[in-house]
Structure 1
């Protein structure tokens, strides 16, 4: 186990630093508005800066709500583990034990998939499905019924592939075993017991608060004057479909409430008022490794039950990020030190922005660099011969996107991501990006953005020597 230094900066120092630096950081990274907060010494401090909506000019404040996107998955996982605590659910029983109607294209896989597989993204069926099944309380039930033709990518329990649809299945599991809609269970079992006053499971609750709007690039030809910084405009919608709520389409809150949820996991399942919300055993189980994750630079080294997992010089870290339409949320927690840091944003160069905050705050907290160094290309201008390129080249496909890897006549490698379906309408197409070899099984962006270079991981060479999957956090199988 890593040495775990005593936190050095106190709450007051961090509050002062955040208040002084956040305005400059959002300007530097082109972020319209943001909240940032820290849990340290049992106290939560937070600050806000910028604008919630560029169309209205409403100011960002600490009581405003931002969408937390897929961080919701940790909330869903917590609800599932409450079922385990009460003896209502066995993580290693097939999901069909509780949801006999659960069906995907591969019936053998559907019969084998467990809640543990779903929680740790090992179910193996295609997961980026955002089918709109209406706004009624039965939308999650209806969504799960649409999965019957969903293709299986690999045998359950054999590898990691991020799966939004799997978390909607977990949400339906919660509904059935609690005999109530997901949002009501979320409210009654987590939001209310934790005393959260600025957390909204959907837009009807969010509208009672000051709320952030996401922002997206205006489109081709809309670059601003300062170094080609994209011009941002309000996103064409506030939230994704309600049916994906358990995976992260609608939950919104202020950063202080998100950190109060993190504190539940730091305090071994005990809420601020002393009541037990989750057993200590379930808290520990969620933080235990279930599967290794191919190295991609922006994800954890492994996955637990809901949480991303990393080993750091300050001790084991659990984390999760979230993205909706023009909003991004970030949460990092080191339970052994009792510290957590979170950043909520509504557009701009959010990865570089959040990373700068995390690096500085964790150094103030621990006296050392905590997060692993970001991957960078050894030679951004590298070219490769046909034999070296051959295992990577081709098209990798899922329902929502194709990723195409090509080599030009000069030996340069390119990756082009083409969104399909509804997602193609939400943002303009992006041009191909230059990539260079990062390892025998990886390609890395040559230019990146804001110091962030995404790594594309590849696995499973077939008989022809070509890789069978590309990982973009999802496992996309080769289609040609």
Structure 2
């Protein structure tokens, strides 16, 4: 059956055109009913149109798939959430022991952006895990939430060892096959057999279709149609039906850690972000790869799910102006109002915040000016250095130690949080934990 959303196609066409979206698929499910719309092209060089069956990369939404594979093992009694990853992977030499639960909830505390190409072989993930002994420990395990790609690489390796299969084969054997998915690819070699989206930047196709295989469990190359992603979502709405016992499926949606104040109330479960909206909790995950972006949101209490897949342009306006309002109407929930710089501006102590904060892939140089304003210069480092030049933005204090970018992007003022006791902050939290160079 189809949901009664008669304006969905026209609204998607109009918004995608207004915001420079190369191609997109938007899909909703409520109970047994589904509504989908597609717009734009898969590749500006070929002009091939997007259809509702086209494949797009889902980026870090794949982390929910990795988490599901892990919770299958928990449901079988073969894995305990509070055992250490090192107990399964003795070759893992992180600075501190870290549990399966902490990895799932992004509280491992170690540097999480480790993008090393270890080849295209079935041992790519194993090789990357062997390199993680060199990463710095940023905070004690379990202490602070910080988004961690490498943690999911470790979880993918746990799945490989316990299933006796390469990660992508485990995906196919334990999720793609049991769910009956027909438009899902785990690599470029598989994706080329379908009508598949190419990522775009500034209106032109990007030079790389997917990231390195070593990061597949974190979301390097998994691609699928909106319908297949909705099938996965609906299985979770049905407490894991067809892929996972109900108790571990429900456990995935239980809060494990409250996020720092990044502008909206949220916590993290075992693979899912949990956002507090008026009327209920919205469960989901976002993802991005070069030139592509994905959004998946579920409202378990209402049995409703939404998917947006794009391959160029800024997807945020489509989320804010179309996905969010339709999801709200279908599920009886409403998103928190977007944050914005207060007027008049709130005062702050420049000395508490000024300094250089860094991770392995980004440096954030925070400075004040004579007018008492705060600025941040963002510089990509390491593997990310080739992706862009340094950019400078003004920050405005929102409340306490939380600041927002003074200029909105896609109608959204992104937030950052400074963390630390005493006169000077020790961390800048941007979704990742960035450590101050010196106090």
d(CA) in 2 for partners of 1:430, 1:371: 32
Which residue of 246, 257, 262 corresponds with 1:296? 262
Superposed displacement of residue 369, structure 1:
5.1
Q: What TM-score does the superposition give when structure 2 sets the normalisation length?
A: 0.96
- Aligned residue runs from structure 1 range 37-436, under 5 A: 37-104=27-94, 106=95, 109=96, 112-217=97-202, 232-271=203-242, 277-297=243-263, 301-366=266-331, 370-379=334-343, 382=345, 384=347, 388-426=349-387, 428-436=388-396
Q: Does the aligned pair in 2 maintain the 1:383–1:412 contact within 8 Å?
A: no
Q: Does the aligned pair in 2 maintain the 1:45–1:256 contact within 8 Å?
A: no
Superposed displacement of residue 60, structure 1:
1.0
Partner of 1:227 in structure 2?
none
d(CA) in 2 for partners of 1:343, 1:357: 10
d(CA) in 2 for partners of 1:77, 1:457: 27
Unaligned 5+ runs, structure 1: 1-9, 218-231, 272-276
Q: Does the aligned pair in 2 maintain the 1:383–1:413 contact within 8 Å?
A: no
Runs of 4+ in 1 over 3 A off after TM superposition: 381-385
Superposed displacement of residue 407, structure 1:
1.0
d(CA) in 2 for partners of 1:239, 1:469: 31
Superposed displacement of residue 146, structure 1:
1.0
Secondary structure in structure 2 of the residue aligned to 1:194: coil
Q: Does the aligned pair in 1 maintain the 2:263–2:402 contact within 8 Å?
A: no
Superposed displacement of residue 295, structure 1:
2.2
Partner of 1:229 in structure 2?
none
Superposed displacement of residue 11, structure 1:
3.7
Superposed displacement of residue 383, structure 1:
8.0
CA RMSD, 1 decimal: 1.6
Secondary structure in structure 1 of the residue aligned to 2:7: helix
Superposed displacement of residue 384, structure 1:
5.0
Q: How many residues align?
A: 438
Superposed displacement of residue 352, structure 1:
1.9
d(CA) in 2 for partners of 1:70, 1:297: 21
Q: What TM-score does the superposition give when structure 1 sets the normalisation length?
A: 0.88
Secondary structure in structure 1 of the residue aligned to 2:175: helix
Superposed displacement of residue 95, structure 1:
1.2
Secondary structure in structure 1 of the residue aligned to 2:60: helix
d(CA) in 2 for partners of 1:17, 1:80: 40
d(CA) in 1 for partners of 2:123, 2:253: 32
Partner of 1:26 in structure 2?
16
Residues 1:450 and 2:410 are matched in the alignment: yes
Q: Does the aligned pair in 2 maintain the 1:468–1:477 contact within 8 Å?
A: yes
